[in-house]
Amino acid sequence: MLKLTLTSILIISSACAHAQAEAFIYPKTIDYIEKTPVASNLIIEPRSRGSIIAGGGAEYKIYSPYDNNINKKLKKEYFLVERNDSLFVNCHYLRDKWYSLSFFRNERYIFFVSGPSSLMNNNGAVVGAGLMFGLVGGAMAGMAQAGAKYNYVID
């Protein structure tokens, strides 16, 4: 009986892991400051460390299961998504994929952590490791760079 109860709890919890909830979308930072959001039902899915290193991108994938128009805008146009007390920042402007969670915000600043931006041009270390240590050295340097995190601030 205990085994059946634990199994049913596990199945129910895994089914509710990606439950939908109302989220507020802010297309621009001025919309966040003025508190004029667009409400929508979104799924916020955390990505595994392996998928981040293998495919790049930030920690959270946010999408709507019903509206493809919102999905297109979430990838490139919408800037901030707020659900409960969490604020997610679109990393598209850093030339990265998906969303990152902000760890501090006030009236003027939003701080968040994300992977290396392609605007920073960190490819020199990977190329140097590839020239010095061959294919394996370049691959290891690339994996280390993909897993690196940097602090960003929005003013």
pLDDT tens by residue, the chain, 155 residues: 555 454 544 444 444 445 566 888 888 888 888 888 888 889 999 988 888 777 777 789 999 888 889 889 888 888 889 888 888 888 877 777 888 888 777 666 676 666 665 555 555 555 565 666 676 666 666 666 666 666 666 66
- Can you tell me the distance from the alpha carbon of 62 to that of 44, in angstroms, rounded to the nearest whole number? 5
Rounded to 5°, angle at Cα 111 from 38 and 32: 20
Per the DSSP assignment, residues forming a β-bridge with 154 are 110
pTM metric for this prediction: 0.67
